[in-house]
């Protein structure tokens, strides 16, 4: 299988399409594909990783040799996306949920489903020794604290957990790529966050006039080693997302042995099960002001608080869930197995194209 990979991402691209844009060609090559450079033209597939862009329409008809790896986080797709996707030879999505949304939205082109995996060298199981004065640490992450992964809800939930467990030493760490100074408030509270690395000014959180402490923000891009260290200092991963194409950060957290509290919705249900994660019920909701816009999912807030309280007060049982999750994803969801599956599917669709 000869593949022309367009815009192969740098190893330093560690989030979103940038991360999978580096991982996918690497695991395809490891599985036996031949990756071509820009001077060669006799490819079987050209593969692009990213959003459906309008320039694909310049071709006029269907671009039969083009495979677009993309995804969605809400339903339905915008009509402009559907128009572009129906000009693509083969569409590659990371979850069956994405495929279902594409078809229900009007996409008629062939769609293959192949998800991602974890690198056990990058994110191995971590045995966390706790005791003494160390706080029980919740970890959450998003590109922006105001994004669809609902970090604002995590902060609000943490306030409620502290009310329920006033004598327990608790900490919340939020990882975000956004380096902002003074963010806009949400709700009616003037909510302070102490910044973990000092790259932005202090943001104070108050609960009914009393300052909420032990909340930290980690900003900017981190190396894989720094991310592993961040997972190591945590005891529980909290991710009440409104929608995922696949949800790789949850899988990587599970790989290190963290019990994960996350939404039972969208693409991450490709690999989530109720015996390896604490799942949150959801209801459909339109985020933002456009009620006619795409539909996401809102996780049950009271259930989120209850799960966080349960993990903090039942640590051995929560650790057991994390160990079970790590065993599961490192056994069944690796980049090597994803590469083998993807290459087999690409070969199958190539044979169909040539008939």
Tens digits of pLDDT across the chain (355 residues): 999 987 655 444 555 666 788 888 889 999 999 999 777 889 999 999 888 987 778 778 999 999 999 999 999 999 999 999 999 999 999 999 999 999 999 999 999 999 999 999 999 999 998 776 789 999 999 866 667 888 888 988 998 999 999 999 999 988 887 654 444 433 333 333 333 333 334 445 555 555 567 888 777 778 888 889 999 999 999 999 999 999 999 999 999 999 999 999 999 999 999 999 999 999 999 866 666 678 999 999 999 999 999 999 999 999 999 999 999 999 999 999 999 999 999 999 999 998 7
Contact between 205 and 211 under an 8 Å Cβ cutoff? The reply is: yes
Q: Which residues does residue 260 pair with via DSSP β-bridges, in sequence order?
A: 237
pLDDT at 21: 80
The dihedral sign for the CA sequence 172, 177, 180, 186? negative
Round to whole Å and give the CA distance between 225 and 203.
Answer: 27
Round to whole Å and give the CA distance between 137 and 141.
Answer: 13
The hierarchical CATH code for the domain 136-332 is 3.40.50.2000
Q: Check if 2-117+334-354 and 136-332 are the same fold.
A: yes
Question: Domain boundaries in the chain?
Answer: 2-117+334-354, 136-332
Burial class (CB in 10 A: 0-12, 13-18, 19+), 327: middle
The DSSP 8-state label assigned to residue 154 in this structure reads H
Round to whole Å and give the CA distance between 159 and 90.
Answer: 47
ω into 145 cis (within 30 of 0):
no
Round to whole Å and give the CA distance between 113 and 60.
Answer: 26
Helix ranges (DSSP H) in the chain: 16-30, 79-85, 96-105, 151-164, 224-233, 248-255, 301-313, 315-332, 335-354
Q: Which CATH architecture has domain 2-117+334-354?
A: 3-Layer(aba) Sandwich (3.40)
Residues 6+ apart with CB under 8 A from 88: 52, 56, 62, 63, 66, 67, 68, 109
């Amino acid at each position: 299988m000869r593949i022309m990979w367009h815009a192969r991402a740098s190893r330093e691209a560690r989030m979103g399409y940038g991360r999978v844009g580096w991982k996918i060609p690497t695991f395809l090559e490891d599985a036996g594909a031949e990756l071509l450079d820009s001077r060669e033209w006799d490819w079987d597939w050209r593969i692009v990783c990213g959003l459906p862009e309008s320039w694909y329409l310049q071709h006029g008809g269907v671009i039969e040799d083009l495979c677009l790896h993309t995804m969605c986080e809400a339903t339905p797709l915008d009509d402009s996306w559907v128009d572009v996707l129906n000009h693509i030879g083969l569409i590659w999505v990371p979850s069956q949920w994405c495929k279902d949304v594409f078809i229900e939205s009007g996409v008629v082109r062939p769609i293959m489903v192949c998800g991602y995996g974890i690198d056990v060298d990058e994110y191995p199981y971590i045995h966390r020794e706790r005791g003494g004065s160390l706080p029980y640490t919740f970890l959450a992450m998003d590109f922006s604290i105001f994004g669809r992964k609902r970090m604002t809800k995590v902060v609000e939930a943490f306030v409620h957990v502290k009310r329920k467990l006033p004598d327990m030493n608790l900490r919340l760490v939020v990882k975000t790529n956004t380096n902002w100074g003074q963010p806009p408030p949400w709700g009616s509270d003037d909510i302070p966050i102490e910044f973990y690395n000092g790259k932005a000014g202090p943001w104070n959180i108050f609960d009914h006039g009393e300052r909420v402490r032990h909340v930290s923000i980690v900003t900017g891009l981190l190396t894989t080693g720094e991310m592993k260290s961040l997972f190591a200092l945590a005891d529980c991963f909290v991710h009440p997302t409104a929608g995922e194409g696949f949800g790789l950060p949850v899988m990587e957290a599970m790989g290190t042995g963290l019990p994960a509290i996350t939404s039972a919705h969208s693409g991450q249900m490709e690999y989530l099960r109720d015996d390896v994660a604490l799942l949150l019920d959801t209801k459909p909701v339109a985020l933002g002001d456009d009620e006619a816009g795409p539909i996401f999912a809102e996780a049950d807030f009271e259930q989120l608080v209850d799960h966080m309280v349960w993990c903090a007060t039942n640590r051995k049982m929560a650790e057991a869930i994390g160990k079970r999750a790590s065993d599961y994803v490192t056994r069944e969801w690796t980049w090597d197995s994803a590469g083998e599956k993807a290459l087999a599917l690409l070969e199958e669709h190539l044979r169909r194209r040539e008939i």
